[in-house]
Structure 1
Amino acid sequence: MSDPAPPGLADGPVYLDYNATTPIDPRVLDALLPYLRTDFGNPSSSHAYGGAPHAALDTARTRVADLLGARPGEIVFTGSGSESNLLALQGVMVRGQRAHLIAQVTEHPSVLQTCRALERLHGVRVTLLPVSSDGHVDPDALAAAIGDDTALVSIMVANNETGVLQPIQELAAIAHRHGALFHCDAAQAAGKIALDVDTLGVDLLTVVGHKIYAPKGIAALYVRTGVELEPVVHGGGQEHGLRAGTENVAFAVALGAAAELAAADLTDGTVHRIARLRDELHRKLTEALPCRLHLNGAAEARLPNTLNISIDGCLGHEMLAAASEIAASTGSACHSGTHTPSPVLTAMGIPEQRAMATVRLSLGRWTTLRDIETATAALTKVVAT
């Protein structure tokens, strides 16, 4: 575990919402600050002030590529995961001759809403694949839905609510057999499980900075060599002509530093430590709340840090509001004071009452056993009252 923890975690409730966002790792902050303070130049400038930013941008691109088993020239920096997903989906669909796009019903809203926009604005035909009760896409469902007019299949590696992992290799192989490209939103998966774009067989893949201890406002899209996209931001030709605008060098450096630390997490035991803490939290809550606690999503094929549970007789948002010792999230959405079930859990066939009783507890780099004990005590106390 890195030391020290970010100041933002000091003296606050136990943070168990790492899937929503991560604090900036102090080492990442140290890496980016010189490019705000002194090395401020435009990386495209040919004079002395452009040299250091240009070199730093190259290094950052290499570090992100290394995390994914990609080549530096295949990394495009963007401003967010939503922008990366937009570039992937719109970039393929408005350029090609095929007009069919396949995604799954539990994708992130940035994918689902882009699908709807492509339907509305460009006449794209969209198919959303169902998921099973444990949250998985059936490869047979993709095989039945895909056709010669399919340009792109977009399936996330890991669900942000349940942590469920999809069979990406098998799904990508089906897409390629039909001449379609394959995109993954890996915002939640990067840094938590090993990702290799060649092993997965993907053509496009999204990575997000604030999910791996870098700042908000920086992300990347892996674009396999030879894949042609229509830019969504036109201009001066930055980022291989796919994302115009003077590069945000400081935040790109931060993403590169975060990617390097994430790669280390995958080999130094950090990920396994987090998984053990997650399982300990699950065990303690199950023992404290016998016959009342339900795991949502697959028990095995999921992210090592994610625990999505429902507790009978409770409402998730009320539990978390009362358990002030912890900071976590529910899967429900609040509209004008009215809470509705998570669309992800609804798509999995989970009844409304159970879906409304859900909390998502997501662990991270600075989670400790004491945090697990605090969370168990807090939730147990709230449920008992």
Structure 2
Amino acid sequence: MMIYFDHVATTPMSSEALDAYREVAEHFYANSESLHQAGNAAGQLVQESKDKISRLLKIPSEGLIFTSGGTESNQLGIRCLAAGTQKKEILVSPLEHSSVYQILDYLATNSGYRIKFLPVDSKGHVTPTILKQALSDQTGLIVIQAVNAITGIVQDIQALNKVAQTAHLPLFVDAVQGLAKVPLNLSDLAGFSASAHKFNGPKSCGLLYLSPQVLTQAPYPYVFQQNGFLPGTLAVPEIVSATVAFENAWQAMTENLTYVGQLKKQLLAALAPTIHPVASWAEYPGICGLILPRTPGQSAATEMGQQGFCFSTVSACSIKDPRPDRTLTALKLTNEQINRYIRISFGPSNQAKEVETFAAALNRNYG
């Protein structure tokens, strides 16, 4: 038996995405930059993928860059936007993915940037008022995640972007956990990131958008692939497969959002009263954070993992970091509570029976 409740960490590839990958890998293996017929055919598939994505998101296709995943998209996007201004202050929320903090630490240490953390309200939101009050004449870039991977808290990106645009400042959004899962208007942003394996596409295929209307500076000299932003041979099978997965997830988004919401309600109703939900108000219901009454979260994840239950504690990218999770700290949880935190994340492939089985086991072992 295996019950998989770790869809935030990664999702299984859909059958359509797998079929597309096999087809392209077998028949369109040429380098998409090559000038011969086979190369042109592969390059055409890349352009068609860009056109499909840009049409759905209402963004210009020339702003799209294919990367190795969400981490590279975040770090390349932030680096390029930061270099596009002479101002050295970057505003960032305290609910970001570790990859965002890594590149910000690098910019602060090596390039003299000042990183200013935005406060959040009692529900974990950066409000337009909070953002307005934090702006200064030295602010050059704003970085705010769309959907938090630990709690499911969703920021009002459209309202925050209005503040940024009024101040003539670029807003970069980590949309890795939000794209094709919750409705997001990303069309007027300076930039955003996404990753295919979060919506049933392949791993090692990310998406970065940098608006052609915003000043950026590419980090690599004499690079001509992808408008000069990223060197390397494009992984055409991954790109086509990711596009298929994205189209399918986009079309099913409303239905999937309702369905995972039903699963979360079922789980919360079935839990023992000693197991406490965290951020139960979070707008994206595919994530359910819980605090166990006594047991460390990592111990529970390991013990129940041996029984076939797959769930997590914090982000898989930061699970080895000994420091308390920034998101949970920002929500005023104590270090001792954070130690007992577990994260359940649902996908459309999960079943109500699985929730029932999991809740019974969790209550029996730790309730």
TM above 0.5: yes
Partner AA of 1:293 in structure 2: I
TM-score by length of 2: 0.93
Corresponding residue of 1:376: 359
Higher mean C-alpha deviation, range 233-242 or range 111-120: 233-242
* Alignment partner, residue 321 of structure 1: 302
Change beyond 3 A, Cα 1:74–1:298: farther
After TM superposition, the structure 1 = structure 2 runs for residues 105-254 of structure 1, keeping only pairs within 5 Å, are 105-198=94-187, 201-254=188-241
SS class of match (2:348): coil
Q: 1:210 to 1:334 in 2, by over 3 A?
A: closer
2:335 is the counterpart of 1:352: yes
User: TM-score if structure 1 supplies the norm length?
Assistant: 0.89
Over aligned residues, Cα RMSD in angstroms? 2.0
- Between the aligned partners of 2:88 and 2:323, the Cα distance in structure 1 is 33
1:297 correspondence with 2:283: no
Pick from 269, 276, 297: which aligns with 1:283? 269
Q: Does the aligned pair in 1 maintain the 2:181–2:250 contact within 8 Å?
A: no
Counterpart residue type for residue 94 of structure 1: A
Q: SS where residue 100 of structure 2 aligns?
A: helix
1:80 paired with 2:69, answer yes
Specify the code of the residue in structure 2 equivalent to 1:228.
Answer: L
Instruction: Report the AA paired with residue 146 of structure 2.
Output: V
Letter in 1 for 2:226: E
Helix, strand or coil at the partner of 1:222: strand
Query: 1 CA distance for matches of 2:363 and 2:220?
Result: 50
Q: Which amino acid aligns with 1:255?
A: A
Task: Report the alpha carbon displacement of residue 69 of structure 1 after superposing the two structures with TM.
Answer: 2.7
* SS of corresponding position for 2:42: helix
Paired residues of 2:157 and 2:185 also in contact (CA < 8 A): no
Aligned residue for 1:76, secondary structure, equals: strand
| Deviation of 1:345 (Å) | 0.7
Among 269, 272, 296, the residue aligned to 2:258 = 272
Distance (Å, rounded) in 2 between the aligned partners of 1:295 and 1:94:
41
Aligned-pair identity (%): 27
Is the counterpart of residue 14 in structure 1 residue 3 in structure 2?
yes
- In the alignment, the residues of structure 1 paired with residue 13 and residue 99 of structure 2 have an alpha-carbon distance, to the nearest angstrom, of 23
Cα deviation for residue 280 of structure 1 reads 1.0
- Distance apart, 1:235 and its partner CA: 4.5
Match of 1:56, SS state, is helix
Q: Deviation of residue 306 (structure 1)? A: 0.8
One-letter code aligned to 1:85: N
- Describe the SS at the equivalent of 1:225: coil
The one-letter code of the counterpart of 2:99 is: S
The number of equivalent residue pairs is 363
Task: For 2:261, give the aligned amino acid.
Answer: A
Instruction: Give the distance between the partners of 1:372 and 1:296, measured in 2 at CA.
Output: 18
